[in-house]
Chain A
Amino acid sequence: ETGVTQTPRHLVMGMTNKKSLKCEQHLGHNAMYWYKQSAKKPLELMFVYNFKEQTENNSVPSRFSPECPNSSHLFLHLHTLQPEDSALYLCASATYSGSNEQFFGPGTRLTVL
Protein backbone atom coordinates (compact mmCIF):
# COMPACT_ATOMS: atom_id res chain seq x y z
CA GLU A 1 0.00 0.00 0.00
CA THR A 2 1.15 3.57 -0.69
CA GLY A 3 0.93 6.50 1.71
CA VAL A 4 -2.55 7.46 0.47
CA THR A 5 -5.51 5.91 2.24
CA GLN A 6 -9.21 6.10 1.41
CA THR A 7 -12.27 5.22 3.44
CA PRO A 8 -14.62 3.56 3.06
CA ARG A 9 -13.40 1.06 0.48
CA HIS A 10 -16.94 0.16 -0.53
CA LEU A 11 -20.12 2.22 -0.23
CA VAL A 12 -23.70 1.50 -1.25
CA MET A 13 -26.13 4.37 -0.98
CA GLY A 14 -29.59 5.33 -2.06
CA MET A 15 -30.30 8.33 -4.22
CA THR A 16 -31.56 10.34 -1.25
CA ASN A 17 -28.67 9.57 1.07
CA LYS A 18 -25.83 11.86 2.09
CA LYS A 19 -22.41 10.32 2.53
CA SER A 20 -18.77 11.38 2.50
CA LEU A 21 -15.61 9.85 1.12
CA LYS A 22 -12.35 10.46 2.94
CA CYS A 23 -8.79 10.56 1.67
CA GLU A 24 -5.65 10.97 3.75
CA GLN A 25 -2.06 11.21 2.63
CA HIS A 26 1.04 10.76 4.75
CA LEU A 27 3.58 11.78 2.13
CA GLY A 28 3.95 15.48 2.87
CA HIS A 29 2.39 16.42 -0.45
CA ASN A 30 0.60 19.71 -1.05
CA ALA A 31 -1.66 18.80 -3.97
CA MET A 32 -4.61 16.41 -3.80
CA TYR A 33 -6.97 15.15 -6.47
CA TRP A 34 -10.29 13.38 -6.88
CA TYR A 35 -10.82 11.16 -9.94
CA LYS A 36 -13.78 9.16 -11.12
CA GLN A 37 -13.09 5.83 -12.81
CA SER A 38 -15.98 4.28 -14.70
CA ALA A 39 -15.92 1.11 -16.73
CA LYS A 40 -14.56 1.57 -20.25
CA LYS A 41 -13.91 5.29 -19.78
CA PRO A 42 -10.67 7.17 -19.12
CA LEU A 43 -10.04 8.43 -15.63
CA GLU A 44 -11.96 11.66 -15.18
CA LEU A 45 -10.38 14.36 -13.10
CA MET A 46 -12.98 15.91 -10.81
CA PHE A 47 -11.21 18.30 -8.45
CA VAL A 48 -7.70 19.57 -7.75
CA TYR A 49 -6.52 21.18 -4.53
CA ASN A 50 -3.16 22.90 -4.20
CA PHE A 51 -2.15 24.08 -0.73
CA LYS A 52 -5.78 23.54 0.39
CA GLU A 53 -7.13 25.81 -2.35
CA GLN A 54 -9.32 24.40 -5.08
CA THR A 55 -7.68 25.10 -8.40
CA GLU A 56 -9.72 22.88 -10.68
CA ASN A 57 -13.36 21.92 -10.88
CA ASN A 58 -13.78 19.88 -14.00
CA SER A 59 -17.46 20.69 -14.58
CA VAL A 60 -18.54 18.36 -11.83
CA PRO A 61 -22.23 18.40 -10.82
CA SER A 62 -22.99 20.16 -7.56
CA ARG A 63 -24.17 16.92 -5.97
CA PHE A 64 -20.43 16.29 -5.48
CA SER A 65 -18.91 18.71 -2.98
CA PRO A 66 -15.19 18.56 -2.13
CA GLU A 67 -13.58 19.76 1.05
CA CYS A 68 -9.89 20.10 1.85
CA PRO A 69 -9.40 21.19 5.49
CA ASN A 70 -5.61 20.76 5.33
CA SER A 71 -2.93 19.44 3.00
CA SER A 72 -3.25 15.91 4.35
CA HIS A 73 -7.01 15.40 4.15
CA LEU A 74 -9.51 15.54 1.34
CA PHE A 75 -13.22 14.77 1.45
CA LEU A 76 -15.85 14.27 -1.17
CA HIS A 77 -19.36 14.92 0.12
CA LEU A 78 -22.12 13.17 -1.78
CA HIS A 79 -25.83 13.98 -1.86
CA THR A 80 -28.77 13.07 -4.09
CA LEU A 81 -26.59 11.01 -6.39
CA GLN A 82 -27.77 9.24 -9.52
CA PRO A 83 -27.18 5.60 -10.50
CA GLU A 84 -24.77 6.76 -13.21
CA ASP A 85 -22.54 8.12 -10.46
CA SER A 86 -21.69 4.54 -9.51
CA ALA A 87 -17.95 4.20 -10.08
CA LEU A 88 -14.56 3.85 -8.43
CA TYR A 89 -13.51 7.15 -6.88
CA LEU A 90 -9.77 7.58 -6.62
CA CYS A 91 -7.85 10.05 -4.56
CA ALA A 92 -4.28 11.02 -5.40
CA SER A 93 -1.65 13.33 -4.00
CA ALA A 94 1.49 14.95 -5.39
CA THR A 95 4.02 17.65 -4.78
CA TYR A 96 2.93 20.84 -6.52
CA SER A 97 6.10 21.18 -8.52
CA GLY A 98 8.51 19.06 -10.47
CA SER A 99 7.24 16.04 -12.27
CA ASN A 100 3.82 15.84 -10.60
CA GLU A 101 4.20 12.12 -9.91
CA GLN A 102 0.86 11.30 -8.39
CA PHE A 103 0.40 8.67 -5.70
CA PHE A 104 -3.01 7.03 -5.69
CA GLY A 105 -5.16 5.61 -2.96
CA PRO A 106 -6.98 2.28 -3.29
CA GLY A 107 -10.25 3.94 -4.21
CA THR A 108 -13.82 3.79 -2.94
CA ARG A 109 -16.17 1.57 -4.92
CA LEU A 110 -19.47 3.48 -4.89
CA THR A 111 -22.79 1.95 -5.87
CA VAL A 112 -25.85 4.18 -6.09
CA LEU A 113 -29.14 2.33 -5.98
Chain B
Amino acid sequence: AQTVTQSQPEMSVQEAETVTLSCTYDTSESDYYLFWYKQPPSRQMILVIRQEAYKQQNATENRFSVNFQKAAKSFSLKISDSQLGDAAMYFCAYWFIQGAQKLVFGQGTRLTINP
Protein backbone atom coordinates (compact mmCIF):
# COMPACT_ATOMS: atom_id res chain seq x y z
CA ALA B 1 0.00 0.00 0.00
CA GLN B 2 1.13 3.50 -0.73
CA THR B 3 2.11 5.64 2.24
CA VAL B 4 3.10 9.26 2.65
CA THR B 5 5.27 10.48 5.52
CA GLN B 6 5.83 14.02 6.71
CA SER B 7 8.44 13.84 9.42
CA GLN B 8 8.13 17.43 10.62
CA PRO B 9 4.96 17.95 12.68
CA GLU B 10 5.80 21.64 13.13
CA MET B 11 8.08 24.15 11.45
CA SER B 12 8.63 27.85 11.92
CA VAL B 13 10.35 30.48 9.83
CA GLN B 14 11.00 34.20 9.97
CA GLU B 15 9.00 36.35 7.63
CA ALA B 16 10.81 36.83 4.30
CA GLU B 17 13.01 33.79 4.89
CA THR B 18 12.92 30.46 3.05
CA VAL B 19 11.62 27.23 4.52
CA THR B 20 11.54 23.65 3.22
CA LEU B 21 8.95 21.09 4.23
CA SER B 22 9.81 17.42 3.81
CA CYS B 23 7.74 14.59 2.40
CA THR B 24 8.62 11.02 1.53
CA TYR B 25 6.38 8.38 0.06
CA ASP B 26 6.40 4.71 -0.64
CA THR B 27 5.14 3.22 -3.88
CA SER B 28 6.07 0.58 -6.41
CA GLU B 29 4.40 2.47 -9.22
CA SER B 30 6.15 4.65 -11.79
CA ASP B 31 3.30 6.87 -12.95
CA TYR B 32 1.61 9.00 -10.32
CA TYR B 33 0.98 12.52 -9.10
CA LEU B 34 2.17 14.28 -5.98
CA PHE B 35 0.54 17.30 -4.40
CA TRP B 36 1.05 19.84 -1.66
CA TYR B 37 -2.13 21.16 -0.09
CA LYS B 38 -2.40 24.09 2.31
CA GLN B 39 -5.02 24.37 5.05
CA PRO B 40 -5.00 27.79 6.75
CA PRO B 41 -6.58 28.02 10.21
CA SER B 42 -10.36 27.71 9.93
CA ARG B 43 -10.20 27.97 6.18
CA GLN B 44 -10.53 25.63 3.24
CA MET B 45 -7.82 23.29 2.01
CA ILE B 46 -6.39 24.48 -1.27
CA LEU B 47 -3.92 23.04 -3.74
CA VAL B 48 -0.50 24.70 -3.63
CA ILE B 49 1.44 22.77 -6.24
CA ARG B 50 1.31 19.56 -8.26
CA GLN B 51 4.04 17.34 -9.70
CA GLU B 52 3.63 14.63 -12.31
CA ALA B 53 6.02 11.76 -11.71
CA TYR B 54 6.96 11.35 -15.35
CA LYS B 55 8.18 14.94 -15.52
CA GLN B 56 11.76 15.44 -14.42
CA GLN B 57 11.42 19.20 -14.13
CA ASN B 58 10.46 20.40 -10.67
CA ALA B 59 7.14 22.23 -10.50
CA THR B 60 7.09 25.90 -9.53
CA GLU B 61 4.23 28.23 -8.60
CA ASN B 62 5.41 31.74 -7.79
CA ARG B 63 7.13 31.52 -4.36
CA PHE B 64 6.43 27.79 -4.07
CA SER B 65 8.65 25.14 -5.63
CA VAL B 66 9.30 21.47 -5.13
CA ASN B 67 12.36 19.27 -5.09
CA PHE B 68 11.17 16.01 -6.60
CA GLN B 69 13.60 13.13 -6.23
CA LYS B 70 11.86 10.15 -7.80
CA ALA B 71 14.50 7.54 -7.03
CA ALA B 72 14.63 8.63 -3.41
CA LYS B 73 10.82 8.97 -3.28
CA SER B 74 11.15 12.42 -1.84
CA PHE B 75 8.98 15.45 -2.54
CA SER B 76 9.87 18.54 -0.53
CA LEU B 77 8.19 21.94 -0.71
CA LYS B 78 10.23 25.14 -0.63
CA ILE B 79 8.55 28.40 0.26
CA SER B 80 10.61 31.46 -0.58
CA ASP B 81 10.12 34.94 0.88
CA SER B 82 7.72 33.58 3.51
CA GLN B 83 4.69 35.72 4.24
CA LEU B 84 2.36 35.80 7.23
CA GLY B 85 -0.39 34.41 5.01
CA ASP B 86 1.65 31.25 4.47
CA ALA B 87 0.94 30.13 8.02
CA ALA B 88 -1.08 26.92 7.72
CA MET B 89 -1.07 23.16 7.86
CA TYR B 90 0.63 21.73 4.80
CA PHE B 91 -0.25 18.28 3.56
CA CYS B 92 1.67 16.20 1.08
CA ALA B 93 -0.47 13.81 -0.96
CA TYR B 94 0.03 11.01 -3.48
CA TRP B 95 -2.28 9.81 -6.24
CA PHE B 96 -1.74 6.75 -8.36
CA ILE B 97 -3.16 7.23 -11.85
CA GLN B 98 -4.25 3.67 -12.53
CA GLY B 99 -5.43 2.78 -9.08
CA ALA B 100 -8.39 3.69 -6.94
CA GLN B 101 -9.39 7.30 -7.35
CA LYS B 102 -8.19 8.50 -3.99
CA LEU B 103 -5.46 10.64 -2.53
CA VAL B 104 -3.16 9.33 0.19
CA PHE B 105 -2.23 12.11 2.59
CA GLY B 106 0.66 12.60 4.96
CA GLN B 107 0.16 13.63 8.57
CA GLY B 108 0.72 17.30 7.87
CA THR B 109 3.23 19.95 8.92
CA ARG B 110 2.10 23.02 10.83
CA LEU B 111 4.01 26.05 9.55
CA THR B 112 4.31 29.16 11.69
CA ILE B 113 5.58 32.45 10.28
CA ASN B 114 7.32 34.69 12.81
CA PRO B 115 7.06 38.44 12.07
Q: Which residues of A are interface residues toward B (Cβ below 8 A)?
A: 1-2, 4, 31, 33, 40-43, 45, 48, 50, 55-56, 90, 92, 94, 96, 99-107
A-side contacts of B46, CB under 8 Å = 2, 104
A41 near B101 with CB under 8 A, answer no
Contact of A42 among B43, B101, B106 (CB under 8 A): B106
Residues in B56-115 with C-beta less than 8 Å from chain A = 91, 95, 100-103, 105-108
State whether the Cβ of B25 lies closer than 8 Å to any Cβ in chain A: no
Most B CB contacts (10 A, CB to CB) among A41, A50, A99 go to: A99
B-side contacts of A55, CB under 8 Å = 100-101
A-side contacts of B102, CB under 8 Å = 33, 45, 48, 56
B44 near A106 with CB under 8 A, answer yes
Q: Which B residue sits closest to A44, measured CB to CB?
A: B105
Q: Which B residue sits closest to A6, measured CB to CB?
A: B44
A43 near B105 with CB under 8 A, answer yes
- Alpha-carbon gap, A50 to B91, bound state (A): 24
B-side contacts of A33, CB under 8 Å = 102
A-side contacts of B33, CB under 8 Å = 99-100
Q: Which B residue sits closest to A31, measured CB to CB?
A: B101
- Alpha-carbon gap, A41 to B106, bound state (A): 9
Top 10 A-B residue pairs of the complex, sorted by shortest distance between their CB atoms:
A104-B45, A43-B105, A42-B107, A106-B44, A100-B95, A42-B105, A45-B102, A99-B33, A104-B44, A101-B47
A-side contacts of B101, CB under 8 Å = 31, 48, 50, 55-56, 94, 96, 100
